[in-house]
Chain A
Amino acid sequence: MPVRLSDRIGYYGAWFSGLFLTAVVFSIVAWLLVNGLRNVDWTFLTTNPAPGSVEIGVAGGIVAPLIGTLIITAMGTAIALPLGLATAVFLGEHGKPLWLKQGTDTAIDLIFGVPSIVFALFGLAIFSNPSLVFLSSEVQTSGMATAKSYFCASLMMALIALPPIVRSTQASISQVPNVQREAAYALGKTRFATIRTIVFPSIRPGISTGTILGMGRIAGDTAIVWILLGGAVLEPPQPGWYQPQNFLEFLHGTGSTLTTYVYFASPAGEGNSEGKAYGAALVLFALVFIVNIVLGRLGQRKIGRQ
């Protein structure tokens, strides 16, 4: 036990801070569970949002935003993963020329540091170009593209998921002992074959960790969705959108995700329906939590098996 008063204050301060942050987490989780569970039921999860009958408000459920979150997360991750792996392999295995290595390194840091609202603006600037109209749809009056579609949003989401994937993969690449690589070269394996058969299997946990972090960033982002997918919270997708012939058209259209739904239904948005916001926030939190905890465990178990 520290003797001096200043030491004692610091010592207890550190204990207090640690327990305080824990208390913040637990109170947010408890608050979400209590208020969310009251509003989540089977109908809430399986019906589309709709305008409320009285006043302004939101009625119905969250099936469209939920699907939106899943689609955006899947598409964003699918684009980011190959890019991130290639970048990480370049940084960790090759790294030449030096200027490209340093430049890429800084670029990844910048993509991590620059806020998603700036990427949303960037997406708006490029995707509204008429020559990129195939990514969204055309504005009838001006001939510009709307820049609002699942494609546009996913492409920008891939950017914000890139840094965690690259960094996590790169870190585990640097853990692979050089002896293993050299043994492979000595057997006459090419660089590519070495990476594929020697390096890749042992960095899989690192890749999955990075991917999970990236997915969490995508699912939790609001700004990109709000600007590049639109705030079409109350417009449910056309019936039969999931059929193959309609799906492409669906991806070209506007939509919503759980984050924009929560924002819209909160007192800050136009929907102003607390209960719906609670319910959707709980579902969103549960999704991120499950992805982080469950998939995180699975990724770690893979290490154990090897």
Chain B
Amino acid sequence: MSSISNIPPPLGVPRPERATAAKSANRQDRIFIWFVQGIAAFTLIVIAAVAIFVLREGWPSFQANGLSWFTAGDIPFDRQLGYSFSGGPDGETYTALNAWPAIAGTILSTGGALLIAFPLSVLTAIFLAELAPQRVADFLSPIVTMLAATPSVVFGLFAILVIGPWMTEHLISESVANQLAIVVPIGGASVLLATIVLAVMIAPLMTAIFTDALRSVPNKWKEGAIALGCDPWRMSRRVSIGAIRPALVAGSSLAIGRAVGEAIAVSMAGGGIAFVPNPLDGVWFFFEPVRPLAATVVDYSEGFSGDVLKANLFAIGVVLFITTAALTIGAKIASASVQKRMGGY
């Protein structure tokens, strides 16, 4: 057993009743340790069970499609999902699924959100940690935290009721919309709107992580830069940002995971059609609808009674699980190297 149960014996000659007391104390401790070990093991079992059960339910979808699951198909993704619930055109069981439109939607909206939110977060973190007067930083930090705690459905509502209609009214010309309507309806609820919502959601998360990392950069390093004549901005850029590079990786991976897994806000803002926006459409690319993987699960949640559709949706769950788990592990490795870097000082 561990060292905890080896409680030092009381001084002097242990009287018999004393010894029994120590023994029962020992037993109490042993039970307590078993208990916390058991609970800890339980969390391990739970996450393993999540992987196993979701994979087991989704497996038939991968089995039926193989690698073409991840490719683009001739039949639109949404129609395939509809067929898989109610039977194909001739009423047969329909197992084919080509999920590329949803995968592309996830990649576009998440990548776009990262492009917007990453520079914004790095600059905000530098502002909060180094540039802002202490009182301003003390006032702003909880506000950023509050943005991080805001329920995603509120962001979705803001997007679909305020930004979306504004974009429809001011940015989209009706003639182009009519022209494109035979291919896909364009509008305010679009890949651009989904990207904006995700960017607003992940920016505070990244800002919080980056600010913490910047504040933990050893003072000696910063003072060295200041002594060499750097102003706070130059010091942040030359010294601090270099030092927290692993934290930048860790924070971004967590943020990507959050964006990939966000279902509701994106389902509200994305336009609800699994379409791959076409860069050849020029600026209208941004106003074409998407429905990423996670939003697809929510949008089709009425259809779990159909076995094939259920397997398809669970297969999407498997892809989400593997992606986010890999990002989490990546973030963990990166932040471990932060500690190693700063720990020496």
Q: With A17-B127, A188-B7, A266-B157 in contact, is A103–B264 under 8 Å at CB? A: no
Q: With A14-B123, A25-B146 in contact, is A7–B234 under 8 Å at CB? A: yes
Provide the bound-state CA to CA distance between A220 and B33, in Å: 34
Provide the bound-state CA to CA distance between A170 and B128, in Å: 26
The verdict on A104 contacting chain B, using a C-beta distance below 8 Å, is yes
Q: List 16 additional contacts besides A87-B39, A190-B32; criterion CB under 8 Å.
A: A1-B231, A7-B233, A18-B131, A94-B2, A104-B44, A113-B257, A113-B325, A115-B261, A117-B320, A118-B324, A119-B50, A121-B297, A190-B25, A191-B33, A222-B264, A223-B264
How far apart are A123's CB and chain B's nearest CB, in angstroms? 9
Chain B residue numbers with a CB within 8 Å of A188 are 7-8, 10, 22
Chain A residue numbers with a CB within 8 Å of B162 are 31
In the complex formed, the residue of B with least CB distance to A147 is B304
The verdict on A259 contacting chain B, using a C-beta distance below 8 Å, is yes
Give the secondary structure class of B's interface: helix
Q: Which of B229-245 contact A (CB under 8 A)?
A: 231, 233-234, 236-237
Is there contact, CB below 8 Å, between B46 and A159? Answer: yes
Chain B residue numbers with a CB within 8 Å of A120 are 297
The verdict on A226 contacting chain B, using a C-beta distance below 8 Å, is yes
Q: With A18-B124, A114-B328, A190-B29 in contact, is A292–B149 under 8 Å at CB? A: yes
Is there contact, CB below 8 Å, between A259 and B151? Answer: yes
Q: Which of A1-49 contact B (CB under 8 A)?
A: 1-2, 7, 10-11, 13-18, 20-22, 24-25, 28, 31-32
How far apart are A151's CB and chain B's nearest CB, in angstroms? 16
How far apart are A69's CB and chain B's nearest CB, in angstroms? 10
Is there contact, CB below 8 Å, between A113 and B47? Answer: no
Select the stretch in A52-60, A244-252, A277-285 that faces chain B.
A277-285
Is there contact, CB below 8 Å, between A114 and B324? Answer: yes
Q: How large is the interface on B (under 10, 10 to 19, 20 to 34, 35 or more residues)?
A: 35 or more
The verdict on B132 contacting chain A, using a C-beta distance below 8 Å, is yes
Is there contact, CB below 8 Å, between A87 and B151? Answer: no
Provide the bound-state CA to CA distance between A219 and B153, in Å: 11
Q: How large is the interface on A (under 10, 10 to 19, 20 to 34, 35 or more residues)?
A: 35 or more
Is there contact, CB below 8 Å, between B43 and A28? Answer: no
The verdict on A112 contacting chain B, using a C-beta distance below 8 Å, is yes
Q: With A2-B233, A87-B43, A94-B4 in contact, is A11–B53 under 8 Å at CB? A: no
Is there contact, CB below 8 Å, between B317 and A118? Answer: yes
The verdict on A67 contacting chain B, using a C-beta distance below 8 Å, is no
Contact of B153 among A11, A13, A90, A220 (CB under 8 A): A220
Provide the bound-state CA to CA distance between A190 and B160, in Å: 58
Q: Binary interface profile of A, 62-106, with partner B (CB < 8 Å = 1, else 0)?
A: 000000000000000000000100110111011010001101101
Q: Which of A208-251 contact B (CB under 8 A)?
A: 213, 216, 219-223, 226-227, 231
How far apart are B324's CB and chain A's nearest CB, in angstroms? 5
In the complex formed, the residue of B with least CB distance to A223 is B263
Is there contact, CB below 8 Å, between B127 and A14? Answer: yes
The verdict on A161 contacting chain B, using a C-beta distance below 8 Å, is no
Q: With A125-B54, A222-B151 in contact, is A191–B203 under 8 Å at CB? A: no
Chain A residue numbers with a CB within 8 Å of B158 are 28, 31-32
The verdict on A186 contacting chain B, using a C-beta distance below 8 Å, is yes
Is there contact, CB below 8 Å, between B146 and A114? Answer: no
How far apart are B249's CB and chain A's nearest CB, in angstroms? 14
Provide the bound-state CA to CA distance between A261 and B132, in Å: 40
Is there contact, CB below 8 Å, between B152 and A222? Answer: yes
Is there contact, CB below 8 Å, between A107 and B44? Answer: yes
Contact of B147 among A25, A126, A191, A216 (CB under 8 A): A25
How far apart are B26's CB and chain A's nearest CB, in angstroms? 8
